Amino acid sequence: MIEVVKTFPDRVWADQGDGGSTRGVESVLEGGGVLHFPRLAFELSQQERRFLDPVFADGKAKNISLRGSAGVLRGAAGTPEDQAEIRAMLMRFRDQAQQLADRLFPHYRGALTLGNTSYRPVAVEGRPSSWRKDDTRLHVDAFPSNPMRGVRLLRVFTNLNPNGRPRNWRVGEPFEDFARRFVPAIRRPWPGSSALLRALRITKARRTAYDHYMLHLHDMGKADLEYQRSAPQQAVDFAPGTTWVVYSDQVLHAAMGGQFMMEQTFYLPPGRQQRPETAPLRVLERLLERPLLL
């Protein structure tokens, strides 16, 4: 199996102009790599360290998040003062993740759009879930109610665990190998189904054929327990103080264990990649021999 994880020695988030930091690694990411920075930590203040406790999650969602350009805080518990400090902590992480992305991916500058910023204080283990929502199963990210219509999902993660506990992942085979395995069994979407889903408000936007195939790939991979056991894969442990970056719509991944993690999502149109042909949209169009955004 190809080694997916590529390790870099960086210690700083922003471009300091010293020539010693990693730059221009779009090709590694677009080729299905996971960028691994074991010395790049998100530092918490002494005051913020008290938030390393699941009691600050309200229990209604699996994470605390900032939503939209206004940075509306969702999912947090505590006093108004606590929530203001949590929001400030997430805003600082968002800013540092943006600085990192600008340095690592100069080709993407001006094209990346900020998505949600999340803090996950709850342990992966023992969290009740249906099989579709079970993130301990290898999967690519796709969302039933939020069609991406080919837009890439770039994510920056950081392990904050104060007890020396790693974030345990599995990463799987290349996306095209995964797609070749399952795509032949996926039926085309029914004519008119996209408009009906939108009219019923099941989806927030029109579900394209691309979204149809990505959702089925997500579900079929998770449902196939033999695939989960025997597919090419490797275990990866991300130690506390480690940051990693990945296209989560391309790299098969599963979160097996860990607690206290930050995450920043960015969106990128596939046409703004250095190599657009590596995007899942283009891979699926090539396999199916037809456009998928009509």
How far apart are the C-alpha atoms of 252 and 229, rounded to whole Å? 14
Residue 130 counted as domain residue = yes
How far apart are the C-alpha atoms of 275 and 263, rounded to whole Å? 25
Q: Are 220 and 132 in contact (CB under 8 A)?
A: no
Residue 8 counted as domain residue = no
pLDDT for 3? 79
Could you tell me the CATH number of the domain that includes residue 204? 2.60.120
Residue 2 counted as domain residue = no
Sort 237 into a burial class: Cβ within 10 Å, 0-12 / 13-18 / 19+: middle
Which residue type, as a one-letter code, is found at position 200? L
Residue 107 has φ and ψ, to the nearest 5°, of -65, -25
Q: Are 270 and 182 in contact (CB under 8 A)?
A: no
Residue 178 counted as domain residue = yes
Q: Which residues pair with 269 in a beta bridge?
A: none
Residue 3 counted as domain residue = no
Residue 262 has φ and ψ, to the nearest 5°, of -105, 150
How far apart are the C-alpha atoms of 64 and 42, rounded to whole Å? 17
Number of domains in the chain: 1
List the beta strands (DSSP E) in 28-141. 34-37, 64-67, 72-74, 113-120
Q: Which residues pair with 120 in a beta bridge?
A: 261
Residue 270 counted as domain residue = yes
Q: Are 266 and 155 in contact (CB under 8 A)?
A: yes
Closest alpha carbon to 172 in 252, 230, 248 = 252
Please give the chain's pLDDT, 294 residues, in tens: 567 999 999 999 998 877 678 999 999 999 999 999 999 999 999 999 999 999 999 988 779 999 988 899 999 999 999 999 999 999 999 999 999 999 999 999 999 999 999 999 999 987 767 999 999 999 999 999 999 999 999 999 999 999 999 999 999 999 999 999 999 999 999 988 998 899 988 899 999 999 999 999 999 999 999 999 999 999 999 999 999 999 999 999 999 999 999 999 999 999 999 999 999 999 999 999 999 997
How far apart are the C-alpha atoms of 109 and 244, rounded to whole Å? 19
Which residue type, as a one-letter code, is found at position 245? V
Query: 225 is in which domain, residue-wise?
Result: 17-287
Residue 77 counted as domain residue = yes
Residue 92 counted as domain residue = yes
